[in-house]
Amino acid sequence: AGIVERTFYVKSLTVSRLCKKQVITAVNGSLPGPTIHVQEGDTLIVHVFNESPYDLTIHWHGVFQKLSNWADGPSQITQCPIRPGYKYTYKFTIVEQEGTLWWHAHVSYLRSTVYGALIIRPRHRHSYPFPKPYREVPIILGEWWKANVVDVERLAAATGAAPKLSDAFTINGRPGDLYPCSKHKMYKLTVVQGKTYLLRIINAAVNNQLFYKIANHMMTVVAIDANYVEPYVTDVVVTGPGQTVDVLLTADQPVGSYYMAARPYASATLSGNPVQFDNTTTRGVIVYDGCPTPATPLMPALPAFYDTPMANKFYTDLRGLVGSPFWNPVPLNVDYEMFVTIGLALEACPANNGCKAPKLSASMNNESFVKPTSVSLLQAFYYNINGVYTTDFPPKPPIEFDYTNDAINKLPIQFAPKSTKVTKLRFNTTVEIIFQNTNILGPENHPMHLHGFNFHVLAQGFGNYNPATDRQKLNLFNPQIRNTIGVPVGGWAVIRFVANNPGVWILHCHLDMHLAVGLATAFLVENGPTPETTLPPPPADLPQC
Ligand code: C2O
């Protein structure tokens, strides 16, 4: 195991997209930012110089951060932001996980341009549980605004309205030739006929799940969220923001050129009608070596935007690869069970208080999460600072009713109070969470992400979770292991994890517009009994609020 050291200079960068010059915040002058390669067991040190005009943090999405919670990165949760002109060094060791992860800003909407791949290779070379690919290629799907993204988020927060929709999706930072002024800068991958490529697909979009397809080619999924799965052959990949999918792609077609394309899987509805979303399509091109130019590439037929059966099939068909590197069996004894509703609603809007239009709000178990401001949650936990949070996050919603029928659901838990309620866990507690989507404002597939841990996805389904029948569906043998689960639209999912890492770990919807309005909570995991299970003190350069 070695040390990998990098420096991130984060600053304004002027780029042209969609016929418009735009000032964005970027790392080391590139979009996407630099790809980081490590081997399992390596220590990664990243010096982050914030030369941008905004507060900044960097999160290492999916990295366990064993005993290094101070380097996790969510703003106000494990650190106060790095102020403009300051720096912070993230230092952590990456153990017992390998595959495709990524890093991104974890404050405001900045991750729409501050992101990149984090690739963890096996400690011993060539030890993938699948044939060694000829080449490995990151495919990072992103989302683009023809506006300053920090302003987009601020405006939404101020008005309480849904934020401005994005103007494009991107593949490795490029929108592709279906957008104006984007033809010449399309992402292009050259392949050799007969060779097999490992595409490391990352959904770095801010607010959209995506379908991804390649014309005339099948893909074999071999890993998700840096966890190996049983090889799964498919013509379409579906990803929620935060998730990664590794596929093997064999260039087994006639020499020619083929589009790859991505566009949203749109699950949200409001009173039965689809909610507005950016309905554009990004594409790149795969060109076979020796292909006579110019050829018109073949275009894949993408699923319909609302194709929930297609998305659900992909999400539920995948199985963990029992016995693969770092495979963990399902913990069978649950110490703490939670039933957690997740969903959107509106804030109460009393006219006699001068309220004109209700603001968007989101909650878990009827609590809408507010981040602390004076210190980070982790500082408050570590130093026993009173008054920052309370440990009474409810393990159940306040009332039982029909969560997915919108006619009935308007009243009982519509207006969630704002709070900073968390769950305190003893070291090594096995937690089961049953997520239940609600239909108070409208149902939607919410990609729920837990920091610091992988979890087993034991079952998922549509409608109201029913223990009498749904317990029998739990897969305790070879479930998928993930760090982000798209809870089916108007449905539920059961996950399990062992809280074996002391610190503060946020659980939140990875649609940034929902995180911003409170779709979050956190787990405070106590130290274990030994020095090896005790969180060390913060690094000296930890930013203060
Ligand atoms: Cu990928 Cu809390 O984030």
pLDDT in tens, 267-314: 998 877 888 999 999 999 999 999 887 778 999 999 999 999 999 999
Would the CB of 514 count as within 6 Å of ligand 1?
no
Q: For residues 435-451, give the mean pLDDT.
A: 94
CA-CA distance, 457 to 454, in Å (whole number)? Answer: 10
How do residues 17-56 score in pLDDT, each as one tens digit? 999 999 999 999 999 999 999 999 999 999 999 999 999 9
- The domain made up of 1-125 has a fold known as Immunoglobulin-like (2.60.40)
Would the CB of 263 count as within 6 Å of ligand 1?
no
Would the CB of 61 count as within 6 Å of ligand 1?
yes
CA-CA distance, 471 to 166, in Å (whole number)? Answer: 40
pLDDT for 158: 85
DSSP lists the bridge partners of residue 430 as 498
Class of the CATH domain delimited by 336-533:
mainly beta
Q: Which residues of 350-386 are buried (b: 16+ CB within 10 A; e: fewer)?
A: eeeeeeeeebbbbbbbbbbbebbeebbbbbbbbeeee
Domain boundaries, the chain: 1-125, 128-319, 336-533
- 311: enclosing H helix or E strand: helix 308-317
- Distance from the CA of 512 to the center of ligand 1, in angstroms? 9
Residues 6+ apart with CB under 8 A from 184: none
CA-CA distance, 145 to 278, in Å (whole number)? Answer: 10
For the question of an ipTM over 0.90, the answer is yes
Would the CB of 447 count as within 6 Å of ligand 1?
no
State how beta strands 282-288 and 257-265 pair. Answer: antiparallel
How do residues 126-166 score in pLDDT, each as one tens digit? 589 999 999 999 999 999 999 999 999 999 888 888 899 99
Residue 530 pLDDT grade (very low, low, confident, very high; cuts 50, 70, 90): very high
Residue 355 pLDDT grade (very low, low, confident, very high; cuts 50, 70, 90): confident
- Distance from the CA of 408 to the center of ligand 1, in angstroms? 33
Domain boundaries 128-319, corresponding CATH code: 2.60.40.420
Q: Do domains 1-125 and 336-533 have the same CATH topology?
A: yes
- Distance from the CA of 356 to the center of ligand 1, in angstroms? 33
pTM: 0.97
- Distance from the CA of 21 to the center of ligand 1, in angstroms? 28
How do residues 357-413 score in pLDDT, each as one tens digit? 888 999 999 999 999 999 999 999 999 999 999 999 999 998 888 888 765 555 556
Residue 414 has pLDDT above 90, yes or no: no
- Work out the mean pLDDT of the chain and round it to a whole number: 95
Residue 9 has pLDDT above 60, yes or no: yes
- Distance from the CA of 252 to the center of ligand 1, in angstroms? 36
Would the CB of 496 count as within 6 Å of ligand 1?
no
Would the CB of 371 count as within 6 Å of ligand 1?
no
Q: For residues 173-179, give the mean pLDDT.
A: 97
